[in-house]
Each structure stands twice: as C-alpha cells, then as structure tokens.
Structure 1
C-alpha cells in the first residue's frame, strides 16, 4: 500500500502532523532514524517521503541521525522515490554557512558573518567584524544553540575561555553582527508546498529562544536583548502580510528544492531587511494559529495527501 513516510528523530515535533494525517484518513508511517540500516539491494516501499530531520538532533542523543538520513535519501533517490525536503534541504538545515552563502548568491541580504574554528579564531573573528555589538551562534544549530549577545571583545573572551562556553557539535562558531530591531521584533515566514502560507511576528524582548514549537516555550535560557515592557503574545500571525521579499523567498526555495520551511528576517532602525535563518524542520505555534484560524500542520497534511493522490493516480495509468 502506498503511503506517506515521515522521516524524523523527534516525536514531539512530529505528533502534530500525524494527528492531522489521521484526521484526514491519510495513510502514513514514521521512520524514526536515530539509528537503523539500509539494504542497498532492496527497493524502497512505494509512496512519498517527507523529512523533518533536525539540526539539533544531537541534543536528544541522536548524534548521527542527520548523517544517516542523508544516506537514506540517496537510496530513495536511486529508485526515483519522491522526497520532500530531502538532501538539499538537509544540507542547508545542518549549516548556517551554507544557508548564508546560498541566500547571498540569490541576492538576499544577510547579516555580516564570520565562521571560526578554534577559540583564538573566534576572538580574531570578532575583532575583524569591528561591530559594537555581535552575537555568537552554532553553525549546526536549531533551538537557539550557542546564541549569545556581546557588546565587547573582552566580554566574548570571558565567555570563550570560561566554563560556560558551548562547543558546537561541528566545531564551527559563527560571529555575526547584531541587527537591532527598534521594536524587538523578528518575522518568520512559513512556506508549505513552496508557497507562502503566513508570517508570524515574534517578540524577541525576552531572549533568543525563538522556536515556535509549543515544546520549545521553555523560558529565557539565553542572553536577553531587552526587558518585557508589556504582556503580549510572543507569537502573532500577521494579517495581510505582503512584503516583497516573499517572492524572492519562494524563488529561493524552488531553486534549492525545499518544499516546507520557515524563513526568518529582522529589520533595523533604517528599515533594512536582513534574512538570518532558514528552518527546513519548521514548527508552528498553536496559540498564534488558533487566534488567526490558520493551521500549518493541517495545511501540510493536506499538501502531502494531495501529493500522495497524484502519485497513486500516475501509478494506475
């Protein structure tokens, strides 16, 4: 029986999708790839495949899940199976260096960033950046890993040479100019089927933990960028959003064979727009969606169901 195969390593970020698939009576199967095997002489099952593999898998003791998933994608592609968010998406998910170079090549502005390996090189990168304020982040990240705000190189030295230093899993630390939003807001644009679905405004005044998944609302774990001035939702879907950057984002996703993604940008006090993150394992905030009456996982389930129907129709011809 042909079905949808969901490739992932985190049940908390997948159960919302499987519930929607069940509501719609769409057949599916989960491939939990924290470990496994591939018989290279066997044919993959019939169906379509959708990846929700995450860059932060190592924080859940699934260190090699993305590497294993990449090999599974190669096997699936050998037999011409349809894979949504396959190898190209995974490669961008696992490397912000690859994200920024791909965005820049597409003519999309990103913050000035220097990648460094080694503690001395991290300090040299900050000195070369010559920015009054800058942030560190992990190249292979997710969940805000390694994100810290600094206002001087001396402060960075205390962090890098101190016990609190967070070593990236791939050894690469990014030093990035800090783009300050005058209203402490960033915007996350969600795309499903390669098309814009909605934009959500995120209040960053409480810190850098910006993952919209309900399971990620775990408080202020990182250096704050300001103080909460008033009680308001952290995530709010924007009605009538029509920034011109949307067209560029859609073209970028198509060029990089990415079907589902959340792309984040920030504007400085001059109104300049900087794109700084692509999430190909995107999540949605339930409270924001309920308030707006728009539901990402439902939209995604319908998209995958339609793609499965298309494949089944072709197969019987």
Structure 2
C-alpha cells in the first residue's frame, strides 16, 4: 500500500502537485475520480493518508459529476481510520454556499446580504427585499459558474419567466446583494494546516466571477492581475478561525472590502487549492513544497498511530 492516495478529478490541474510529490520522493498513488467505484464493505482504504482534490466545478466537465459520490467514498475511508485531508466535514461547506455564509457569520464576520431559496419564483420577492443590483447564484458553484447579475426587477422577472435564472445541482439558489468591491479587488487567503500560508490580491475582479488564480484558469482572464498581499492581523485571525471551525486543511477563503462602507465581506470557502500561477514570480517560492511537507508529516503521524 502506498503512503498517500491523491483522489483527484481535473486531468491538468494537479501536474504541479504530482511533480512536487515526485521531487520529494513521496510514495503515492493517483486515483482519478471519474471512473472510480468503491465497495462500502471493503475494510481497506487506498492509503493511510488521502488527499482530496475534488473540484466543485467538476459538474461542469461531466454530466455524471462526482461531488456527492466523493463525499461518500471519502467518508467511508475516513471511517476506516484513514487521515483524509479536506474530508467530508469541510466538503459539507464546500458544496454549500449557504452554509459557508452561515459559517462566516458564526465566526463574527460580515457577509453580503443574502437570501437562500429553493424556488426560482421566490427570487423576485427576495431581490426586492435586498435591493438592486443583485446577483443570483447557485449553491454549488465552481469557476464562477451559475452567477448572474440583475440590475432591475424587470430583468429578473424576465429571467424567471424563461427559466434562465441559475439553479444548481442541489436545487438551491442564493439571491445576494451585489457588493461593489473596493478597487475591483478580491482577496484570496490560502490556508494550510489551519494557518494562513499566503494571500493574493486579484485586481480587476469586477470583470468576471471566475477568480481561480491557477495556471490553467488564467489563460482566458487577461483582465485579472494577481499579486501577493499581506492581510491585516485581524483578517489573518479571522481566516484561521474559519479554517478551524470548518475543518479546512488546505484551501482558500475569499473576501472583498465593500466600497460603500469599508467593511470586509466574506463570501467564499474553497477546499481546493491549485495555488497561484507562476508562484516563484508572485510569491518567491512554490507552495506545493509546503503542501508536500505537510503531507509527509501526516504520513509520519499515521505510521505512529498504526505502530
């Protein structure tokens, strides 16, 4: 049995991770999610440490997406004693933007004014309560999919009439205040082992809802520029608090500063980190090396438990 199993979905995103594992000499097996099956009575996990690299946007790439299947498989292996990095606990947040917002609020953080619903026809009434412009977004998102801005009741009513209002794979939609981000900037804070690893400023974020900063994501977003960013201490503490509350081992937490009142508003938790494109230029180091060192430590811990 290998020391590590990487349970992954996207064929290109994880080449840097696999290269880092090879570079560090880690004994691992790569498990593609697409054609995976499992036996709920099988008593043996694929490895003592399992790194979950499920992308929420997987439902965009195949009709039979594996989001909820993966939660079952990872939960099975966790029940057998495997250490699952970004396991079912944090996936319960990653697959549910409404729960993410509740989490941020419980952590004492500001969020965009939001209403959750399960019927398209409720969106018009809820948008009226919030005030225009609003965005309507799916509850299970990825790569900016299923997010639409509406500037008037007439525009939203027409979309409801022709069934073009976004409705996600779980049948839940969010109606949310459109927050004007100060300087059109979004901050993505990357967490590893419960601590802030680095943060990025994504400038020009008003041009797209797809803010993935990794190499394969940036090819069609020339209007977005990325730079290293140092959050104020209270934001760092808040990010680490959310990571602890959610069980996030490695991933991103995003916020923006509301131009209207200067309040940082948190809106997204993502338990998949592809890290940043051109990390040596942006950060001065490759965060994949940090991730692999963390994984090596988890492998050692699992060996001690098994001894």
TM over 0.5: yes
Answer whether contact 1:2 1:312 (CA < 8 A) is retained: no
Count residues in correspondence. Answer: 304
**Following TM superposition, by how much is the alpha carbon of 1:218 offset from its aligned partner in structure 2, in angstroms?**
4.9
Structure 1 residues 150-159 or 284-293, which shifts more? 284-293
Inter-partner Cα distance in structure 1 for 2:82 and 2:88: 13
Answer whether contact 1:137 1:144 (CA < 8 A) is retained: no
* TM-score with structure 2 setting the length: 0.91
Answer whether contact 2:107 2:242 (CA < 8 A) is retained: yes
Residues 1:258 and 1:154: Cα distance change in structure 2 (over 3 Å): same
Answer whether contact 1:253 1:259 (CA < 8 A) is retained: yes
Name 2:285's counterpart in structure 1.
294
- 1:248 corresponds, among 235, 238, 243, to 238
Inter-partner Cα distance in structure 2 for 1:271 and 1:54: 32
Name 1:307's counterpart in structure 2.
298
Matched, 1:172 2:205: no
Structure 1 residues 133-142 or 62-71, which shifts more? 62-71
Inter-partner Cα distance in structure 2 for 1:237 and 1:292: 6
Name 1:21's counterpart in structure 2.
21
**Following TM superposition, by how much is the alpha carbon of 1:135 offset from its aligned partner in structure 2, in angstroms?**
1.1
Q: How big is the alpha-carbon RMSD for the aligned residues of Structure 1 and Structure 2?
A: 2.1
Inter-partner Cα distance in structure 1 for 2:105 and 2:9: 30
- List gaps (5 residues or longer) in structure 2: none
**Following TM superposition, by how much is the alpha carbon of 1:132 offset from its aligned partner in structure 2, in angstroms?**
3.0
Answer whether contact 2:136 2:173 (CA < 8 A) is retained: yes
Inter-partner Cα distance in structure 2 for 1:285 and 1:46: 28
Inter-partner Cα distance in structure 2 for 1:71 and 1:179: 35
Answer whether contact 2:110 2:263 (CA < 8 A) is retained: no
Matched, 1:73 2:74: yes
Inter-partner Cα distance in structure 2 for 1:135 and 1:289: 35
Inter-partner Cα distance in structure 2 for 1:191 and 1:289: 18
Structure 1 residues 270-279 or 280-289, which shifts more? 280-289
Residues 1:101 and 1:241: Cα distance change in structure 2 (over 3 Å): closer
Inter-partner Cα distance in structure 2 for 1:123 and 1:218: 35
Name 2:160's counterpart in structure 1.
160
**Following TM superposition, by how much is the alpha carbon of 1:117 offset from its aligned partner in structure 2, in angstroms?**
2.2
Answer whether contact 1:237 1:289 (CA < 8 A) is retained: no
Inter-partner Cα distance in structure 2 for 1:56 and 1:167: 14
